[in-house]
Structure 1
Amino acid sequence: MVFRGIVLKLWLAIILLLIFILIALGLGLFQVVENFYYSQITTNLVSQGQEIIRLYLYDKDNFLINNQIEDLSRILNVHFLIANENGVIQVCDELTHMAPGDIINESELVNILNGNIIAKRGFHHHFDTQMLTIGFPVQVNDQINEVLLLYTPVAPFSEQFNSLKQLIYWSLLGSIVLASIMAFFLSRSLSKPLIKMNKVALGLANGDFSQRVTVKSNDEIGVLGASLNYLSEELKKSITDLSYEKEKIERILSGMSDGVISFNKLGRIIHYNPRAKELLDNCPDIQENNIIQDCKHLTQLSNLYDTILLTKEPMQSNLTVGRRLLVVKLSPLEDQDTGDLTGVIAVLYDITKEHRLEEMRKEFVANVSHELRTPISLIQGYAEALNDEMADSVEQQREFIKTISDESKHLNRMVEDLLELSRLQAEVTSIIKETVDINELVSNIKHKFKKELVEHSTEFIIEVDSQAKTVWADSFRLEQIIINLLSNSLRYSQGGLVNLNTRAVQNGVEIIFSDNGQGISEDDLPFIFERFYRIEKSRNREKGGTGLGLSIVKNLVEAHGGTINAQSKHGQGVSFIMYFPQTSAPDNNC
């Protein structure tokens, strides 16, 4: 990992730059040192040459006789000669017999005779080696008729210079190695926070907001690290807020009584709440990424969906799923910035109950109209018959009068039930609670209904638990509840059995009223406590009643702060389980 990525790139870039700089510096240094070195040698030789010329001109004859030439050559470690303007050697050391052309070429000789000092370095075929040659004009009485040439081999100087070059070379090489090591650690120190930032950034991409960059400097990298830490913190807050909002929306959607399904513009499901799947009969095709045509219950909405894509206008339709009747409202989802359609949201409302109640209401209105019309018609008919003296005998008159009286009572009972239910639902009925002896209350009711029980060949059995002898309730309303249930059972039972049981439960008493009559179908069971409901669908006034009895029972139980539930199967009787809370503490053992 160290030798990949930015570390290697930085290290190579620094090394290559340093090598380039050091090589250029070395080459320049070699040239400068070499020029400086030979410049110093040349300067020394010039000084020596001028000294030789001074000695030569000071005592020319003695200079030649006393072998001063060899002495100077040995002391100065140079070879020299003096030649005239024609290149003929006048004075020299052991370099005798050198031809004029070997001394110096004609152009250089002319240059020296013009008063210039020349210096050149190169191979000299007479010495058969590299030589440094210095030429001096010898001026006598403002005239230059002779030249002094100094020769010194380059080899001794080259060896010293080569040693110096090797020293410089190894210094440069050492500098490169040292610079490489320093560059490695420098690039690593620069890249280490970047690698850490990359790790933190990848963590952010994967949802890990706990990692942080350690900021150790105030430079650009340190500022970048601090910015990344700030970004991480802000992202964490934003994601937390978004998660909270998403969870809140999920909970709202999950708790909604309506179903919600959202589609993208391709018609694929992108979200739905549990209620939507429940309303669609738990269709297994209601899954994310499935298209609208995949679900058999939604295929009838596909045309509406296509229409919304074109019109971008909300639409509504009814949808039947099994026994449920749904209203589906489809609304377009648009991008707020561009206005482009991004999808469609469908809200499913279950109107089964409302539809059923509306049908029941219509049915009840028809039933009540019939119920009212029948007694009124009978009363009117028999009254007119009496008025027209159509009765043939006193006995027939009494029969007419009895019919009018019975129908008046039936009409009065219906009106009383309607008024009672209205008062209960308006919560204006007062409930005066006291400790009620259940066995005594029910026994009195049984006695009152002795005749009806005999007529229907029905046995009424009372079983009161020893721990639930009394209940905290309004005795008059409790009697009304039991009478309504008993009347209802007698209406639908012939030669049957009616039971009333009690049992103690936590913080209250349960009273279970059951019979073995014809029972209630599963389809009707959820609606038996609704007002205007009649178990008997035919308009049989002798059995159907007013359709208000069970609704009154439910409202009376709830007025006590209790609950009532029904359990039944068609043909197997029905059980009503009533719970009465003991807000007071009656003594059930007395």
Structure 2
Amino acid sequence: MPRRGVSTQILISMAAVSVFSSIVGYLFVYLAYVVAEEYVSNFQGWLPFEIEFSVLLLSIVPALMLTGWIAIRLTRRILAPLNSLATGAQRIAAGDLSARADPGDLPLSETALLISDFNTMASRLQDMTNNLITWNAAIAHELRTPLTILCGKIQGVVDGVIVADERLFHSLLLQINSLGRLVDDLRVVSLSESGHLDLRKDRMDLSEQIGSVIEVVRAPLIESGFRLETNLVDIEIFADGDRIRQALHALLENVRRYAVPGLLNIETLRLNNNILIRVEDSGPGLAPEFVKRAFEPFERADPSRSRHNGGSGLGLSVVRVIAEGHGGESSYRRSSRGGSIFEISLPLT
């Protein structure tokens, strides 16, 4: 048996209510006559007279017309948004993520809320898909460069064009380490975006952790022309030491690649219930229009220069997600001498 449409069901229901109401009204009049029978001289039973039947018929017909008009108006307010919702769902299922539902004119509050929730869901689904496409393209691009270099040099050794000496192995090791850091950065950012970044927190000496990072990067920084100054306070915090070292290493690597060689100050200071890790260089600083998106994945102030220097555009985003994972934040501002000040704020408790 085919199912009736919503409009048909509403029309039939309201018509039935109208007829039922008219009949109940007549029966009520009949009961009134029964109660007042001794006072009504011409009472002749429950069957209607010709005039009464005419009155009953004339009351039912306009009621049916009115209820039919109301039913049609009501079904339009209900069905128009629902039909648009069904069409939008079908288009999204077919792969058109730009489809949206139209609430129509004067929708019911529940219907309008349903349409709004559907459109919000569709918009987020489209954004997630676009982000996934962008991420896949960016990841493929970033992995291609070190893999191409590795394959080229190894192929050169196989063909006898390149001599497999200590210098070559050192160059290959640098590319492998760079590839490993890139994969780790991608893992941290992607886990944070999905809400699954795992932090293994414990009591740790912050100065000791920062000092270990400085020892690793000191030689490359000095070789690049930087002069290091440190001012570290002795304090313990509850944090993931590996991630804190990764964030600081990303900041210092960012300075080494893009800052002007000169004084590089690394310090920690306590501010209320937070501890600040501050890295200040000699410039040139970030362009004002780039500051707002500096901590987003794969963003570069100068894409061509960044790729030439080997940057992936993930360094500052790693700093941000690690800071936020600890309940803190990362920030950037200009220094009084025109350089850049990057800060990681971490809660003490």
Q: Same fold (TM over 0.5)?
A: yes
Q: Could you tell me whether the CA contact under 8 Å between 1:535 and 1:547 is conserved in 2?
A: no
Alpha-carbon offset, residue 361 of structure 1: 7.3
Task: Find out whether 1:565 has 2:334 as its counterpart.
Answer: no
Q: Corresponding residue for 1:204?
A: none
Q: Could you tell me whether the CA contact under 8 Å between 2:197 and 2:325 is conserved in 1?
A: no
Whole-angstrom distance in 1 between the partners of 2:107 and 2:155: 76
Whole-angstrom distance in 2 between the partners of 1:330 and 1:367: 35
Task: Find out whether 1:519 has 2:285 as its counterpart.
Answer: yes
Q: Which of 1 and 2 has greater Rg?
A: 1
Equivalent position to 2:161, from 364, 367, 390: 390
Q: Secondary structure at the match of 2:288?
A: coil
Change (3 A) 1:376 1:563: closer
Whole-angstrom distance in 2 between the partners of 1:498 and 1:403: 27
Q: Corresponding residue for 1:410?
A: 178
Alpha-carbon offset, residue 527 of structure 1: 1.7
| Higher relative contact order, chain-length normalized (CA < 8 Å, sep 6+) | 2
Alpha-carbon offset, residue 335 of structure 1: 9.1
Q: Corresponding residue for 1:381?
A: 152
Q: Corresponding residue for 2:212?
A: 444
Q: Corresponding residue for 1:488?
A: 254
The unaligned stretches of length 5 or more in structure 1 are 1-311, 315-327, 337-348, 584-590
The unaligned stretches of length 5 or more in structure 2 are 1-80, 85-99, 109-119
Alpha-carbon offset, residue 412 of structure 1: 2.8
Whole-angstrom distance in 2 between the partners of 1:559 and 1:405: 31
Change (3 A) 1:331 1:479: same
Paired residues, what number? 243
- In the TM superposition, 1:529-548 aligns within 5 A as 529-538=295-304, 540-548=306-314
- In the TM superposition, 1:6-405 aligns within 5 A as 333-334=105-106, 365-391=136-162, 396-398=163-165, 401-405=169-173
Quick one: which amino acid aligns to residue 327 of structure 2?
G
Q: Could you tell me whether the CA contact under 8 Å between 1:379 and 1:403 is conserved in 2?
A: no
Whole-angstrom distance in 2 between the partners of 1:463 and 1:537: 33
TM-score w.r.t. the length of structure 2 is 0.56
Q: Could you tell me whether the CA contact under 8 Å between 1:519 and 1:573 is conserved in 2?
A: yes
Alpha-carbon offset, residue 363 of structure 1: 6.6
Change (3 A) 1:469 1:401: closer
Whole-angstrom distance in 2 between the partners of 1:381 and 1:335: 64
- Which structure is higher in helix share? 2
Q: Secondary structure at the match of 1:482?
A: helix
- In the TM superposition, 1:436-475 aligns within 5 A as 436-438=205-207, 440-464=208-232, 469-475=235-241
Alpha-carbon offset, residue 539 of structure 1: 6.3
Whole-angstrom distance in 1 between the partners of 2:267 and 2:170: 39
Task: Kindly provide the CA deviation profile for residues 480-534 of structure 1, in whole angstroms up to 9, marking residues without a partner as x.
Answer: 2221111111111232222233333332323322222222222221222222323
TM-score w.r.t. the length of structure 1 is 0.35
Quick one: which amino acid aligns to residue 536 of structure 1?
D
Quick one: which amino acid aligns to residue 219 of structure 2?
K
CA RMSD of aligned residues (A): 4.2
Change (3 A) 1:558 1:455: same
Alpha-carbon offset, residue 541 of structure 1: 3.5
Whole-angstrom distance in 2 between the partners of 1:509 and 1:525: 23
Identity %: 25
Whole-angstrom distance in 2 between the partners of 1:517 and 1:580: 25
